[in-house]
Structure 1
């Protein structure tokens, strides 16, 4: 059974968080002259965003999540906002200010949903300019094909020191997530293994199912839940419901 501890951290130290933290520390403490960019990639739902926001809090990094409608100016404004700097001036001026802040602070810049940048050569080159101008630590987060897509920009691709694949969720990860999404309910090992199998690697699906188990346990006034107790109750798989026959 998982440990019952209501006073738990709201961010679980799952494998991907540890992986990202170690890689970031390597980048920050790298020898002068070595590349300083890392790429975190993987399928949707594997907890990349959760890991990176937790890392930003731990390392006092600057975290920005890209939007599909952003242009170069919007990205620079959002980065400056995260830095606590009032955006002003031309694109070139904002770029210089950001580079100076990254170089002085030695904090990492994390750009999530980086795939949106790949729609424009100008956006990719802007992020490379941020790196070249600061020689700081940049973490770029995207989907599973991001490393292959970046090969189009060789001058960018060659500056990536760490390629970090997001790991599929494990039973050990699920056990760490359980106190957060299913508090005060002990979950048996067989039920944890079952929801991990259904998740197909997705941290998000495990989290959703832990919440469903918690709701059911509260309705039944249960303080523990096993696979046998859960029975035939539905669990979330991410698949669209099948059309019923008329």
Structure 2
């Protein structure tokens, strides 16, 4: 049986660590600004950037920090499926029609004062039904806060195809590659129990161009290898000696 206290402690540490990442701090400030905005300002926020730059980590932090309703859109979802997912996150008993669902969700968004996060919002954007979220926002009597998270092209798609959403974006936040300060935050959390040298951390950061996901994977690999070797500290030279060889590319023969 899992120790629930230990699990909660780890989650708390993870949330606290995420708060120190610059991308997380930027989107947190933007959402807080939207939640506390004057009534004459719109309440939509767009968080965009390349895969692996920590947008999902930020979304999970926002979910905890603001008790946000976090919904992940996918490439196959329809209008009604997205609305049903939102209603489920809100703990609502969904009504039958799309029109009624939008009203139900909008009312809950206004009453709860909790943000709605739509992760991978580029999927409904490409399918042409992102404006359903604008309908929800209007049903909240413009009191709700909605955060759209997506790929780098999401702002351009909003400007080209969803002008009514574009002109209601209060803050645009771009997820940037992690810098070395961010990498040290990840090291302190994901490589606990092993001191990963700055030279090795710099090499990991450089080789992955600041990609959060790849840095985390390498830190976990380093940690596991160091512990297996009985090491409490590991630097670049030791890691190079022990790092598994990269798979060789297949040679294509002609003739």
**Structure 2: distance between partners of 1:190 and 1:236:** 20
Aligned equivalent of 1:196, options 193, 202, 205: 205
Aligned equivalent of 1:161, options 170, 193, 196: 170
Alignment of 1:82-97 (within 5 A): 82-97=89-104
Name the residue aligned to 1:184: 193
Cα 1:139/1:241, change in 2 over 3 Å: farther
**Structure 2: distance between partners of 1:201 and 1:88:** 45
Name the residue aligned to 1:3: none
1:151 aligned counterpart, secondary structure = helix
**Structure 2: distance between partners of 1:18 and 1:181:** 19
TM-score by length of 2: 0.87
Alignment of 1:130-141 (within 5 A): 130-134=136-140, 135=142, 136-141=144-149
Aligned equivalent of 1:28, options 29, 35, 41: 35
Q: Answer whether contact 1:41 1:147 (CA < 8 A) is retained.
A: yes
Q: Answer whether contact 1:208 1:236 (CA < 8 A) is retained.
A: no
Counting matched residue pairs gives 238
Q: Answer whether contact 1:177 1:207 (CA < 8 A) is retained.
A: yes
Deviation at 1:241, TM superposition (A): 5.8
Runs of at least 5 residues in structure 1 that lack an aligned partner in the other structure: 1-5
**Structure 2: distance between partners of 1:197 and 1:53:** 26
1:155 aligned counterpart, secondary structure = helix
Deviation at 1:235, TM superposition (A): 7.8
Deviation at 1:47, TM superposition (A): 0.7
Name the residue aligned to 2:111: 104
Deviation at 1:57, TM superposition (A): 1.1
**1:23-63 deviation line (CA, Å, top 9, x unaligned):** 11011111111111111000000010111111111100100
1:10 aligned counterpart, secondary structure = helix
Deviation at 1:112, TM superposition (A): 0.2
Cα 1:245/1:233, change in 2 over 3 Å: farther
Cα 1:221/1:167, change in 2 over 3 Å: same
1:161 aligned counterpart, secondary structure = strand
TM-score by length of 1: 0.90
Aligned equivalent of 1:228, options 213, 237, 244: 237
Deviation at 1:236, TM superposition (A): 11
Runs of at least 5 residues in structure 2 that lack an aligned partner in the other structure: 1-8
Cα 1:241/1:150, change in 2 over 3 Å: farther
More off after superposition, 204-213 vs 7-16: 7-16
